[in-house]
Structures are given as C-alpha cells and as structure tokens.
Chains A and B, each alone.
Chain A
Amino acid sequence: MTHHQPKIDTSPKVSDEVRKTTCYMCACRCGINVHMKDGKVAYIEGNRDHPVNKGVLCAKGSAGIMQVNAPSRLRAPLKRVGPRGSGEFEEISWDEALQIAADWLEPIREENPEKLAFFTGRDQSQSFTSFWAQNFGTPNYAAHGGFCSVNMAAAGIYTMGGAFWEFGQPDWDHTKLFMLFGVAEDHDSNPIKIGIGKIKARGARVIGVNPIRSGYNAVADDWVGITPGTDGLFILSLIHELMKAGKIDLDYLARYTNAPVLVNGDEKSPDYGLFLRDEDGKPLVIDRKTGKLTAFDKPGVRPDLHATHRAAGVTHRPVMHLMAERYLDKQYAPEAVAERCGIKADKIRTIAAELARVAFDEAFELDHEWTDFRGEKHTKMMGRPVSFHSMRGVSAHSNGFQTCRALHVLQIILGTVEVPGGFRFKPPYPKPVSAHPKPHAKVTPGSPLNGPHLGFVQGPDDLVLKEDGSAGRIDKAFTWENPMSSHGLMHMVISNAHAGDPYKIDTLFMYMANMSWNSSMNTKGVMEMLTDTDENGDYVIPRIIYSDAYSSEMVAYSDLILPDTTYLERHDCISLLDRPICEADGAADAIRWPVIEPDRDVRGFQTVLVQLANKMKLPGFTNDDGSAKYEDYADYMVNHERRPGIGPLAGWRMGDKGLQHGRGAPNEGQLNSYIANGGFFVKHIPEAAAYYKPWSKEYQDWAVGMGIYDSPQPYIFDLYVETMRKFQLAAEGHGDRQPPDHLRERIKATMDPLPIWYAPFEDDNVDTAEFPVHALTQRPMAMYHSWGTQNAWLRQIHGRNPLYVPTKIWKANGFAEGDWASVTSAHGEIIVPVAHMAALNENTIWTWNAIGKRKGAWALGEDASEATKGFLLNHLIHELQPPKGDGLRWSNSDPITGQAAWFDLRVKVAKASAPPDVSQPAFDPIKSPVAKGPSELTWKVGK
C-alpha cells in the first residue's frame, strides 16, 4: 500500500473546565489541575504554579481518577451487626450514626474524658483534630507520627529547630554534593525528584546511603549499601574524620551554635552537665574579646570555642571540648566501625574527604546583606554547597533519635544549615523547642483539656504522669519510657488499651489508620486484641468508631463507620498551623475543595467532627448563646481564629484597609480567593531573609509580620541538648521527679546530650547468630501505604511484593525463581515468594510495604494477587520487645521518643520445602461492605 495519511484532529477540546485543588494520593500535597468533562473528572495533571510540585505529578497523582471511581469507596454510615472482624454491617442514616456516636461519647466526657482514645492516623488536619480532642477533654490524642518518623522530626527540632521534608529542603539550586540517608521513596517525593533532576542536570554528585539500591539510590552516583541500624555509627565516624582534620566551620559554630556554651563541670553539683547561665537564665560563653563570661546573645560578643571557665576549683568547659573528647576517640575511627557498618574504611574516609572538599574548597558567597541577632551587619552570605536529606530509614530504629541527631550535628559542624548550597528551613520553621508548646494532659470531666496534647518537654517536670507516677496517656507518651515522644505512640494504643496498661478505655475512635492490617506491628495479635472479650463476653475494648473513605481491613473491626469522602469531594486546609506546604523561599498553604460532589451518602470526616462537636456542644465549637460556631469544616477553615488574627489559612484575610496576608480577621470570600489562585497561597521571603533564618533579623521580622511568631525568636543550634542531660540527672538521682528503678540505667545510657550510637535493641533481645538477617520494607514511589491497591492502574504496577533476597543468601539457600521462603523472627513466621536482587546489602532482605491485602478488603476479588502472593512483614514484628522476665511490657520503640522500631527486625531465611498456594499467614476472607468492581474497565468520561 502506498503511504496514506489520514487527517486527524490535533487540537481536540481538552476539557470543559479546569478545577485546581490539592492532591491526596500521598502525603506530598501537590497542586493538581483537574480537567472536567460533563461534570466528571477526565484527566489530572500537576499545577505548574504550585510551590510543591511546580507542574509535575507522580504516578499516584495521575491515577487519582481511578481513586474517585474505586469500587472500594464506602457508601453510607455503617453499624456493625455481626461479630467484630466479620465485616457484617447494616447501612444507617447520618442522623442515626451521629446519635450513636454522641450517645457513646457524651457520658465519657461527663465522667472521665480519658476513656476516649482519639487517634487520627495519616491525618492532614491535625491542628483541627487536636483542637476537637482538646475541647472534648481527652488527653489521648495523636496522629501517626510515632510509628512513622518522629525520630527525624524531634531530633531536628531539638537540635536545630526543624528537620527534613516539611521542615526544610536542600538548596537545590546551589548544592554541589547531596547525600541522602534511608529515604522512603514517597516522602516529599516530587520535590526530591525535581531536586535530584536539577542536581543531575548540573552534573553534581549524589551519594545514597541505603541498604537497598532502588529509586533515588539507583541514580545516586555513589551508593553506600550500609547495614541497617548502623547509620549513626557511620555518621559519627564521618564526624571523627572531619574533626580530626579540622574540617569544621569554626566561625559558624562559634556564632550560631551552642559549641561555645559553658557546661557545668562540677560532678557533685545537681547541675552537673547543665549550662552555666546568667541571672536571666541565658547560657554563658566566654567572650573572645574580653575573656569574660558573657550571655551568648549579647550584642558584639565573640563566643570562644576554646576558653574554659574556672570557679571554686572546678573547670567548666565549652560544648566544643566535650565534642572533641567524644568524637576524636578511636572508637569512631573508620577502621573501628567499618565491619559493623558494612562499609570499607577507605570509603568512609573518601566520603569524609569529599564532604570536606566541597564544603570548604567549593565555598562561595552571595552578595546579600543581612543582620544577625546580635546586631552585627553582614554584607555577604557564605555558601557551603553540601546538603543532606534523610527520612524513615534511619528513624525507625530504637537508636533512631540519636542517629538523626548525629546527622544534624554533621550538617552543623560543616556549617551547611541555613546557608547557600546547604539545607534551608521552610516557614514556619525554624522554630526552636522553646517556641513550641509543652505537652498537656490535665483532665477535667465535662471541660476541655488544659492545653495542646503534644509538645516538646524541656525536662522531667514536663512529663505526663499521674500523681502515682503512672502514665497520663493511654500510649504512655511523655513518660520515663520515652520522655521526648512529641508525636505520641499510636502503635501502642490498642495494645495498651487491651492490656489495661496504664488504664482501660471505653471508646477507641480512629481515622485513616489501618490498624488491623498494615499500620500495626503484630497484625494478627492486634486482630485478636480488637475481638477479645472479657469474662462477661463483652469486648475488652468496648467500642470502636472508625472513619475511612474506603473498605480497608480496619472497617471490619469497628462498631460504627463514619464514611469519609475522597479527596476530590471535600474541603481541607493544609495549614501553617499544621504540616504546611511551604518552600524555603516562601510561606504557603493550600486548600482542597469539592471539585466533584459525592455520589454516595458520605461526609468529610472533619465536617462530621464539627457536627459531633455541635451535637455535644463542645466549648470551642459553641457560642456563648449555645449556638454552633461552625456549620461544617469549610466554615471552620474560614472563621476559626487560633489567636486573634491568626486562622487556619494565611492568605486573603481581612485587614483595616482590605485584604491582606498573614494576620487579619476572617474573610467570608477567602475560599473563593484560594480557588481563584489555584487552590493555594504563597508569600515569598525577602532576599535578605532567604538564608540564616534562625539568626536573621530580616527573617525574624518577616515571620512576625506573617503571624508565624508573635515576637522574634532567634536562637542557637543545640549540638548539646541540655534537656536530655536533665533526664540523665534525674536517673542519677537528682531532683524530685525520679524515674522507676528499672529505667534508670537505660535513661543514663541513651539520653546522652551529645549524639551516640548504640546497637538496635533487637540485637540484644535475640540471638543474632540465630537471626543473622536484617529485614526491611520500603514504600514504592507509585503506591501510598494501602491506598493504592484499590486503584485499577496502580495495582498493575505493584500488584504483588516479592521478598527481595541478596545474592549471598540466595545462593546459600539454593533459591531459584518461583521459590518461596520461610522467614522467621523471634515473634513469628511468614512464607512468601522470593526474588533475587544483587544491588542490596548482603545481610538484608526487603519487600514493598503494604502491598499484601486481606481477602475481602478493598473491594478486590479473593483471587487478587495482593491477597494471594502479596504479604506483610508486619507479622514478624511485635509491638513489645520479648519478655525480660520482669513482668513488664517493654515497647519495641526508641527509648527517647517512642518511635516504633520497625527496622530493628532480625530474621532467618530458609527455602520453603512445600510452597503453599498463598502467602502465609493467610486469614479468612472478611465480608465486604461494598460491591466488587467491574472485571473490565474502558474508562472514558467524554464519549
């Protein structure tokens, strides 16, 4: 046939209308353009103007169209009619659902609000849900941070007033060496991909530290296939090498950190190890110009890193001395750590040298004038183009807090935090511990809690303990077991409530947390706890209320289901009061709004909370005349004021002379302004305030104007965390508030005020010869937790999750493609399909997280690959450490923050002699409250 070219229409109509809102296919919160045809969602793409994603969009975001048509979407409120776990429900009206909830909750509130445990999972509205819980009066509120990355967040805030991701980002445009540690591929995913793309386009170097060479580590120029749980030791070895070579930024350390602050050296003093302070309580340094003791922030002071102070026969030394003594020790030499870390000594040294070379030999200056908090004017900004990023991989260990601290200290000694080319905070960060609330837990029946639940303790006095010394909170946050647990311990709630330790509860109320499946350690045990009955035949956890948009595994284990909307059917605010979407160059927040209306009898969870609050007439939701303050969540977003002039949304507020940003009175047209602007608001930071934010007068003044602080809050970085020393002092016997004896030694050992490394607890709890292999999970970039599986497109990318086995273990077991392995921990066994992976630490196995599904959940067929070949590693991990014979329940968590120590896990691997038909353990199917989807999809909305 000769060439025949038909005429085609190359300019077809794309859509009737574009509606701009915020994605929720993961926690990234990118801006999206939703193309509508005939009132339906036709196509989703990234919003080019949006500060987070700048137009790009990941696989999950583009697949949003398959989320809003997913057959798993719940259709109406549900009341359980069969036994818990059966999945037998009847649909009820919202009037009935709200009445049931109020009938359960009101008596609790009047008699003892602590009997309600309200935990909100992957909630993006925590400033609202915590406000609700506070007004209800229960001390038992948190979101999922405790089982996610609290170690990273808390270590960052305690060290330098912020951490990675929502707290800050590398200076992508200037950095020349980017080093990332243990990064979950779905945290901050589009910004990191954009950043790596920028770095790669410039030919700059990326070093990836991760036992697994996938994703970002696959494109890293250099890969460090570290042994899990040893990152802290590796980092301290880098610090050792850098200090030994004098490759540290002395000027930066003297000006902007507590390296020159004098530490009480009197071993007999109750203040031993605390800072010397003046009458105003300000930490003291020696002024290099005068040689005198001076407050660290006095105008003109030149803090001395070297000089000591001698008084009453005792020498008080600056933090810098203590660091030299600690980190120059040979125990941190590359040779001493190499075997344990699984990294050759030469490679550690090469990396240290490259960090030094780039930080100091490739330093540069920007001609930006700025003024520091001591009043000194600077004409330039010194750039040190080394930057770091890290997330969950290093956090989720029992030594994770100290490891994260070590990483922040490494950044600081190189002088790369808040400088050009280094790491930059995003508003409202930097924010020191002193500017955060402390935890509150004082319960008064019928009244609100005495303040916000979560916060940052500054010493033993801030712990949440009852008069008898027992835990005030159901999750035992802010107790001696984990004093600095700033995000709570969601992973301990069900276990503690079931054990009645510290007390029993009446109602468990949860949102968006799949606790009877992938969001819990010891999944089978949790199912048993949720269905366990007492001697009267009543459930040990009497009532469970759950809100989810989808038919997740947790639905079957609940008594009352409040069905949520999908993300395109709802109002939301991504608020500066919460986990905002700012960038280093500006403050930003955003909304979601209903770009489509639900076709089911469902309501946004936050609106349901408003309605429940109105029904119970909770104080913060009720006017003096008894009328409701807010009709729904959208009303709250616009009209709530946390402080006068400060509301959930910072853009387009009402000032004396019209609309203004930051502070201002509520504006009834605010949401329309957001929608007209693409669903978000951004206010850029002036050039003089772009860097050095913790110390910059220009930034501090700008932040006050924006309502981020009420007054300037300059501070210095805490290489040495005095708060931790206060807990050690208590453990040594000082002070009125004393830890129980069984925790004294652990507190002394782990709460070191300078970063240390200790082996993950699992290494001491199990026989490492019997369980020699580390086992990890990672989240794929194309799937967010359990949510993606119901998505017809995404499940074709990750529909099953083999256990990836490194060459050494593969060969030792004689594995072949198609084989199954038995994987055993001290706690349990799974039998699952294997696949070979060479680019992997030789003692580590891993799999993708949360791909495995229970039969009957998520509106999938019972033959779905997720339910037959997929599996969870969770079955191998217990929420408690193995019994120590003392009758105590020791949680499997970081002893400082309570972060769930998922990645401490050790296992043994063997070839399964008789491969099963489906991954083991397998559970009976649950009855689905929704119908199954079509077998074939030919989706096209604009026919």
Chain B
Amino acid sequence: MTTLPESTTRKLGLVIDLDTCVGCHACVVSCKGWNTENYGAPLSDQNAYDGAGSGTFLNRVHSYEVQPLATSEMPHPAAQLIHFPKSCLHCEDAPCVTVCPTGASYKRVEDGIVLVNESDCIGCGLCAWACPYGARELDAAEGVMKKCTLCVDRIYNENLPEVDRAPACVRTCPAGARHFGDFADPESNVSKLTAERGGMDLMPEQETKPVNKYLPPRPKDQMDHAGDIDILAPFLEPVMEEPKGFLGWLDKALEKI
C-alpha cells in the first residue's frame, strides 16, 4: 500500500459552477484531445465506429433531473436539470493512492495533484474500486489506469504562453463554469469563489477531503413563488381601462417628454 504525503505545499484544484454549466461537453472533449496527445498512453476508443462505442475519458458530464419538494409558496415546483461534470477531485486523503499495491498512484507534495506513474501501474484496478467518485478509468488498449492529471503538463509548461497554463477543460469552458487555482491560498480566485458561493465537497461523508469544489445552483423559478406578483404589481398598474383611455394617457405622457 502507498502512503500519502503528510501535507502538500499547494492544493491545486478546480471549482465547478453548477449554476452555470450548460452541459455542453466542451471540457470533456478538450480533455480527451489534450490527454490523448500528451501525458502517458493515449486515451483509447473501442468500437470506435460500430456498436455503442466506448473509450477512456478523464472527465465526463452527467445530467441529473431534480424534483424540488412542494412548499406552500411553490406547490407545484418544476423539475430541474443539473449538469454535473466529474473528474478526479485530487482528494487530500485519496483512497486511490493508499490502496495502490505498487506505488504507481501518488499525490504530489508540491501541489497535491494525484497522478498515476504508468510504468509502475499493473492495471489491477484497485484504485478505481477504492475511489468513491468513479473518477478513474482503466484504458482498455494500454491496460493502465488513467485519470485527470489536472493537466500537470500544461499548468507549468514553459512552452505555453502563461495565460494558457491552465487545465485544458478550464481554458476551453465556453460558459466560464470551471475555475482553476490553489485552495491553500485563501486569496486565490478558487478560494474566494468557494467562500462567496458556498462551494461544497462532493460526498463529504466519504472523508476523502476532496480538493475540487462544486458551486451549487442558485435557487430557481422564483417567479413561480406565490406572492411575487404582489411585489411586482406596481409595475403593471394600468394607466387606463379602455383603449380610448390609453390614448388619453398617451397624450399626457407625451407632454412630459
């Protein structure tokens, strides 16, 4: 079994805004593209042009329907659809690392990124079993475990312009729903966003201390609140009752311009 570092200098990770994610899969494919060409073995695809097709992805978007409970104010709340991107959360207490029999899985001391050293990976799959989030995928062609590297080969890459030294998923996200930074720094953009918007751990009861945080969707369908119309009613106060009255109002209103 493999030990975790006692602490890491930085805690790099992602903030994913569930209020803004439109479920477009841009992050999914950008990740697939970068990581097929870069770190370790390519992300392979089986039945690429037949059957159902299935390949290795380090990041996937799942969509869930949510039915809010009825309240006296909203007796018939509309169902909602939440898009939920999911990749490795680079946990502080990463069970995928401690379960690894060869030391191939490890957490980096300097930034907390959890990586797989593919040359030491025997493809036993214990780490995928240990991960409560289903964030690791065994590549069917290469027989090694693949996972999000937080684009460790982008974020420090001196061959990239500084502005591009971010994970591929963050750089490409059209809605700006993904943010990258250091959670060990309370002044970082990710720390501030987490504080302002009530960023949450995924399945905290698993005690993995995930580094990535999710910003919850803002309350929806507030216009369906009984009573809202009373607050807004003054904006619709009729200026007249009959069409003729409208013309009278019009004349007076024009005088004021």
Shortest distance in angstroms between B179's beta carbon and chain A's nearest beta carbon?
A: 11
Other-chain residue from B21, B171, B221 in contact with A223 (beta carbon distance below 8 A): B221
Asked if B175 and A193 make an inter-chain contact with CB atoms under 8 angstroms apart, the answer reads yes
Shortest distance in angstroms between A745's beta carbon and chain B's nearest beta carbon?
A: 27
Within 8 Å of chain A (Cβ to Cβ): is B239? Answer: yes
Asked if B223 and A222 make an inter-chain contact with CB atoms under 8 angstroms apart, the answer reads yes
Known A58-B174, A347-B224, A793-B55; contact A215-B26, beta-carbon cutoff 8 A: no
Asked if A324 and B247 make an inter-chain contact with CB atoms under 8 angstroms apart, the answer reads yes
**0 or 1 for each of B68-112: is its CB under 8 Å from A? (1 = yes):** 000000000011111100000000000000001011001111000
Asked if B174 and A246 make an inter-chain contact with CB atoms under 8 angstroms apart, the answer reads no
**0 or 1 for each of A909-943: is its CB under 8 Å from B? (1 = yes):** 00000000000000000000000111111111110
B residues 1-59 near A (Cβ < 8 Å) are 1-5, 17, 19-26, 28-30, 32-34, 36-38, 41-42, 44-55, 57
Q: Which residue of A lies closest to B219 (CB)?
A: A221
Shortest distance in angstroms between A795's beta carbon and chain B's nearest beta carbon?
A: 5
Asked if A43 and B34 make an inter-chain contact with CB atoms under 8 angstroms apart, the answer reads yes
Asked if B23 and A839 make an inter-chain contact with CB atoms under 8 angstroms apart, the answer reads no
Other-chain residue from A63, A325, A937 in contact with B33 (beta carbon distance below 8 A): A63
Of B20, B30, B80, B239, the most chain A CB neighbours within 10 A belong to B30
Asked if B222 and A222 make an inter-chain contact with CB atoms under 8 angstroms apart, the answer reads yes
**0 or 1 for each of B230-257: is its CB under 8 Å from A? (1 = yes):** 0011011111101100110111011001
Q: How far is the CA of A865 from the CA of B152 in the complex (A)?
A: 36
Q: Which residue of A lies closest to B100 (CB)?
A: A1
Known A193-B175, A347-B224, A865-B52; contact A250-B257, beta-carbon cutoff 8 A: yes
Q: Kindly list chain B residues whose C-beta atoms are within 8 Å of the C-beta of A331.
A: none
Q: How far is the CA of A251 from the CA of B254 in the complex (A)?
A: 8
Other-chain residue from A56, A225, A792 in contact with B53 (beta carbon distance below 8 A): A792
**Which of B124-132, B158-166, B200-208 makes up part of the contact surface?**
B158-166
Q: Kindly list chain A residues whose C-beta atoms are within 8 Å of the C-beta of B103.
A: 1, 4
Asked if B53 and A799 make an inter-chain contact with CB atoms under 8 angstroms apart, the answer reads yes
Shortest distance in angstroms between B33's beta carbon and chain A's nearest beta carbon?
A: 5
Q: How far is the CA of A936 from the CA of B45 in the complex (A)?
A: 6
Q: Kindly list chain B residues whose C-beta atoms are within 8 Å of the C-beta of A56.
A: 26, 171-174
Q: Kindly list chain A residues whose C-beta atoms are within 8 Å of the C-beta of B171.
A: 45-46, 55-56
Q: How far is the CA of A197 from the CA of B24 in the complex (A)?
A: 13
Within 8 Å of chain A (Cβ to Cβ): is B122? Answer: no
Shortest distance in angstroms between B76's beta carbon and chain A's nearest beta carbon?
A: 9
Within 8 Å of chain B (Cβ to Cβ): is A328? Answer: yes
Of A4, A53, A250, A942, the most chain B CB neighbours within 10 A belong to A4
Asked if A58 and B153 make an inter-chain contact with CB atoms under 8 angstroms apart, the answer reads no
Q: How far is the CA of A222 from the CA of B19 in the complex (A)?
A: 12
Shortest distance in angstroms between B9's beta carbon and chain A's nearest beta carbon?
A: 13
Q: How far is the CA of A861 from the CA of B171 in the complex (A)?
A: 35
Q: How far is the CA of A116 from the CA of B141 in the complex (A)?
A: 52
Within 8 Å of chain B (Cβ to Cβ): is A244? Answer: yes
A residues 846-860 near B (Cβ < 8 Å) are 859-860
Q: Kindly list chain A residues whose C-beta atoms are within 8 Å of the C-beta of B173.
A: 56
Q: How far is the CA of A57 from the CA of B24 in the complex (A)?
A: 10
Asked if A861 and B51 make an inter-chain contact with CB atoms under 8 angstroms apart, the answer reads yes
Q: Kindly list chain A residues whose C-beta atoms are within 8 Å of the C-beta of B67.
A: 838
Asked if A863 and B50 make an inter-chain contact with CB atoms under 8 angstroms apart, the answer reads yes
Q: How far is the CA of A800 from the CA of B158 in the complex (A)?
A: 42
Within 8 Å of chain A (Cβ to Cβ): is B142? Answer: yes
Q: How far is the CA of A194 from the CA of B172 in the complex (A)?
A: 11
Other-chain residue from A12, A793, A941 in contact with B159 (beta carbon distance below 8 A): A12
Asked if A940 and B163 make an inter-chain contact with CB atoms under 8 angstroms apart, the answer reads no
Q: How far is the CA of A215 from the CA of B175 in the complex (A)?
A: 11
Known A860-B49, A937-B44; contact A793-B23, beta-carbon cutoff 8 A: no
Shortest distance in angstroms between B32's beta carbon and chain A's nearest beta carbon?
A: 6
Asked if A58 and B223 make an inter-chain contact with CB atoms under 8 angstroms apart, the answer reads no
A residues 688-723 near B (Cβ < 8 Å) are none
Asked if B238 and A792 make an inter-chain contact with CB atoms under 8 angstroms apart, the answer reads no
Known A48-B163, A793-B55, A938-B41; contact A219-B21, beta-carbon cutoff 8 A: yes
Asked if B247 and A193 make an inter-chain contact with CB atoms under 8 angstroms apart, the answer reads no
Within 8 Å of chain A (Cβ to Cβ): is B228? Answer: yes
Q: Kindly list chain A residues whose C-beta atoms are within 8 Å of the C-beta of B57.
A: 796
Q: Kindly list chain A residues whose C-beta atoms are within 8 Å of the C-beta of B34.
A: 43
Other-chain residue from B3, B49, B228, B237 in contact with A2 (beta carbon distance below 8 A): B3
| Interface size grouping (class) on chain B | 35 or more
Within 8 Å of chain A (Cβ to Cβ): is B65? Answer: yes
Other-chain residue from B55, B106, B175 in contact with A200 (beta carbon distance below 8 A): B175
Other-chain residue from A42, A194, A357 in contact with B235 (beta carbon distance below 8 A): A357
Within 8 Å of chain B (Cβ to Cβ): is A14? Answer: yes
Asked if B172 and A62 make an inter-chain contact with CB atoms under 8 angstroms apart, the answer reads yes
Q: Kindly list chain B residues whose C-beta atoms are within 8 Å of the C-beta of A55.
A: 171
Q: Kindly list chain A residues whose C-beta atoms are within 8 Å of the C-beta of B160.
A: 14
Asked if A198 and B78 make an inter-chain contact with CB atoms under 8 angstroms apart, the answer reads no
Asked if A941 and B29 make an inter-chain contact with CB atoms under 8 angstroms apart, the answer reads no
Other-chain residue from B30, B38, B115, B243 in contact with A62 (beta carbon distance below 8 A): B30
Q: Kindly list chain A residues whose C-beta atoms are within 8 Å of the C-beta of B239.
A: 244-246
Q: How far is the CA of A198 from the CA of B173 in the complex (A)?
A: 12
Q: How far is the CA of A937 from the CA of B32 in the complex (A)?
A: 13
**Which of A73-81, A348-356, A493-501 makes up part of the contact surface?**
A348-356
B residues 195-229 near A (Cβ < 8 Å) are 217-218, 220-224, 226, 228-229
Q: Kindly list chain A residues whose C-beta atoms are within 8 Å of the C-beta of B157.
A: 10-12, 14
Within 8 Å of chain A (Cβ to Cβ): is B186? Answer: no
Q: Which residue of B lies closest to A255 (CB)?
A: B257
Q: How far is the CA of A305 from the CA of B239 in the complex (A)?
A: 16
Asked if A839 and B81 make an inter-chain contact with CB atoms under 8 angstroms apart, the answer reads yes
Asked if B222 and A11 make an inter-chain contact with CB atoms under 8 angstroms apart, the answer reads no
Q: Which residue of B lies closest to A792 (CB)?
A: B48
Q: Which residue of A lies closest to B34 (CB)?
A: A43
Asked if B30 and A57 make an inter-chain contact with CB atoms under 8 angstroms apart, the answer reads yes
A residues 829-876 near B (Cβ < 8 Å) are 837-840, 859-865
Q: Kindly list chain B residues whose C-beta atoms are within 8 Å of the C-beta of A941.
A: 37
Q: How far is the CA of A354 from the CA of B235 in the complex (A)?
A: 8
Shortest distance in angstroms between B59's beta carbon and chain A's nearest beta carbon?
A: 11
Q: Kindly list chain B residues whose C-beta atoms are within 8 Å of the C-beta of A793.
A: 29, 32-33, 45, 55
Asked if A796 and B53 make an inter-chain contact with CB atoms under 8 angstroms apart, the answer reads yes
Q: How far is the CA of A328 from the CA of B242 in the complex (A)?
A: 8
Other-chain residue from B22, B47, B48, B109 in contact with A215 (beta carbon distance below 8 A): B22
Q: Kindly list chain A residues whose C-beta atoms are within 8 Å of the C-beta of B191.
A: none
Within 8 Å of chain A (Cβ to Cβ): is B168? Answer: yes
Shortest distance in angstroms between A152's beta carbon and chain B's nearest beta carbon?
A: 21
Other-chain residue from A4, A216, A349 in contact with B229 (beta carbon distance below 8 A): A349
Within 8 Å of chain B (Cβ to Cβ): is A887? Answer: no
Q: Which residue of B lies closest to A782 (CB)?
A: B25
Other-chain residue from B53, B81, B175, B233 in contact with A214 (beta carbon distance below 8 A): B81
Q: Kindly list chain A residues whose C-beta atoms are within 8 Å of the C-beta of B172.
A: 45-46, 56-58, 62
Asked if B50 and A8 make an inter-chain contact with CB atoms under 8 angstroms apart, the answer reads no
Asked if B156 and A10 make an inter-chain contact with CB atoms under 8 angstroms apart, the answer reads yes
Shortest distance in angstroms between B98's beta carbon and chain A's nearest beta carbon?
A: 10
Q: Kindly list chain B residues whose C-beta atoms are within 8 Å of the C-beta of A251.
A: 257
Known A839-B79, A940-B36; contact A215-B23, beta-carbon cutoff 8 A: yes
Known A1-B103, A62-B172, A219-B21; contact A938-B51, beta-carbon cutoff 8 A: no
Within 8 Å of chain B (Cβ to Cβ): is A59? Answer: yes
Of B23, B24, B174, the most chain A CB neighbours within 10 A belong to B174
Q: How far is the CA of A794 from the CA of B55 in the complex (A)?
A: 11
Within 8 Å of chain A (Cβ to Cβ): is B177? Answer: yes
Q: Which residue of A lies closest to B49 (CB)?
A: A933
Q: Kindly list chain B residues whose C-beta atoms are within 8 Å of the C-beta of A325.
A: 243
Asked if B175 and A196 make an inter-chain contact with CB atoms under 8 angstroms apart, the answer reads yes
7 cross-chain CB contacts under 8 A: A12-B159, A56-B26, A62-B26, A218-B80, A288-B254, A353-B236, A839-B79
A-B CB proximity, top 4 nearest: A861-B50, A353-B232, A193-B174, A838-B79
- 15 more CB-based (< 8 A) A-B contacts, given A305-B250, A795-B53: A1-B100, A4-B2, A14-B160, A58-B25, A193-B174, A223-B221, A246-B246, A246-B249, A306-B251, A792-B55, A800-B52, A936-B44, A938-B141, A938-B142, A941-B37
